[in-house]
Amino acid sequence: MRTCIDYYNKKHELISEKLIGNVTEVGTEKQMTIFPNIKEQMVIFRFRDRLAIRSGFLEYYDEEEQKNRKFTVVKNLRVSKGTSVYGSEYR
């Protein structure tokens, strides 16, 4: 699902808005293997561009739930084709 994503720093100040990317939920089994100590819902944000996202928050509008969802940046993977960011649900 292609969506617009907003990036905030740790002080909740907007850094970049309307970044185009895909959001995919991480399955429970994979989440327990990769991040066993994180209990919140995990997602992967995939961006076509190479971005410098190291910490902070990513937020997007979930059309199924009809609300904004906010995630804390857990891990950033910069690959040759773009950027992948793991996020845990912010509460």
Backbone angles phi and psi of 72, in degrees to 5: -85, 135
pTM confidence score: 0.81
Condensed to tens digits (0 to 9), the pLDDT of residues 15-61 reads 988 999 988 888 767 767 777 777 777 888 999 888 888 889 999 98
Spatial separation of the C-alpha atoms in residues 87 and 54, rounded to whole Å: 11
